[in-house]
C-alpha cells in the first residue's frame, strides 16, 4: 500500500455535488508533499462505498492498484515548487490507459481514529494551501478595459500641443482662481 495523504488532528469530510465525490480537508501531518501544519485538501472522485463521518481525527489515505494488488506508480509534474510556496500537486497513474479500455479503479483505505473503510476510487487529487508570502507577490487584477481606455485617451490628449494649457485653465476655473 502507498500512503497518499496524511492529516494531523481534526479532518473534515464533506460530499461534493457529484455523486461519489468527496472533499477531505485539514492540516498536513508533515509527510511530502506538504510540511507539518500546512492546510491540505484531498479531493476524491468516483469513491464507491465511501461514507465517512463529518469529522475524522488523524486520518490517512492509502492506495493500492485494485487490478494487481500492487502499489501504483505515481508521477508528478517535473517542476516542484519550494515548500514555502503554494502548490497544487496533481497525481495521476503513470501508465496511459486507452480511451476504449474500461476505467481503471484503485483500491483505497481511509483510516482515522476509530474509523477505517476500504473502497474503490477513480481519481484523487491533493491540494496544498497557498502561503501568505506567495499571495503578497501576486499582481493585483488588471483594471477594467473601459478605465484603461479612458486613461489612454486622456494621456494621449495631453500630448497634443495646447491641450495641456486648456486642461490647466479648466482646472484653474474649476478651483475659482
The reply to whether 67 and 152 lie within a common domain is no
Structural domain containing residue 128: 2-136
Whether the model pTM is above 0.85: no
Per this entry, what is the length of the chain?
Answer: 177
The reply to whether 61 and 84 lie within a common domain is yes
Q: Give the pLDDT confidence score for residue 171 in this predicted structure.
A: 85
Residues 111-145 have pLDDT tens digits of: 999 999 988 888 888 887 776 766 777 778 889 99
* Average confidence (pLDDT) over 140-166: 88
Inform me whether the pLDDT recorded for 77 exceeds 60.
no
The reply to whether 45 and 88 lie within a common domain is yes
**What residues contact 157, with CB distance under 8 A and at least 6 apart?**
163
Residues 14-70 have pLDDT tens digits of: 999 888 899 999 998 877 666 788 888 889 988 878 889 999 999 998 887 655 554
The reply to whether 171 and 86 lie within a common domain is no
The reply to whether 122 and 151 lie within a common domain is no
The reply to whether 38 and 106 lie within a common domain is yes
The reply to whether 122 and 39 lie within a common domain is yes
Maximum Cα interatomic distance, the chain, rounded to a whole number of Å:
87
The reply to whether 111 and 154 lie within a common domain is no
Grid cell 464533506 is found at 14
Q: Give the pLDDT confidence score for residue 37 in this predicted structure.
A: 82
Inform me whether the pLDDT recorded for 6 exceeds 50.
yes
Measuring CA to CA, which residue among 38, 13, 8 is closest to residue 24? Answer: 13
The reply to whether 73 and 150 lie within a common domain is no
48 vs 51, 134, 159, CA distance in Å? 9, 37, 67
| Tally of domains in the chain | 2
Q: Give the pLDDT confidence score for residue 29 in this predicted structure.
A: 87
The reply to whether 59 and 144 lie within a common domain is no
Amino acid at each position: 500500500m502507498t500512503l497518499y495523504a496524511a492529516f494531523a488532528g481534526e479532518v473534515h469530510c464533506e460530499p461534493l455535488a457529484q455523486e461519489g465525490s468527496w472533499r477531505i480537508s485539514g492540516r498536513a501531518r508533515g509527510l511530502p508533499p506538504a510540511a507539518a501544519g500546512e492546510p491540505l485538501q484531498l479531493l476524491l472522485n468516483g469513491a464507491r462505498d465511501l461514507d465517512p463521518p463529518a469529522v475524522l481525527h488523524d486520518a490517512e489515505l492509502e492506495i493500492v492498484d485494485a487490478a494487481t494488488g500492487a502499489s501504483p506508480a505515481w508521477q508528478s509534474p517535473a517542476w516542484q515548487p519550494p515548500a514555502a510556496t503554494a502548490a497544487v500537486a496533481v497525481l495521476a497513474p503513470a501508465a496511459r490507459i486507452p480511451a476504449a479500455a474500461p476505467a481503471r479503479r484503485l483500491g483505497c483505505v481511509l483510516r482515522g481514529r476509530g474509523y477505517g473503510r476500504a473502497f474503490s476510487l477513480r481519481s484523487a487529487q491533493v491540494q496544498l494551501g497557498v502561503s501568505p508570502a506567495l499571495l503578497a507577490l501576486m499582481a493585483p487584477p488588471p483594471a477594467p478595459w473601459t478605465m484603461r481606455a479612458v486613461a489612454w485617451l486622456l494621456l494621449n490628449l495631453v500630448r497634443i500641443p495646447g491641450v495641456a494649457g486648456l486642461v490647466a485653465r479648466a482646472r484653474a476655473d474649476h478651483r475659482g482662481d
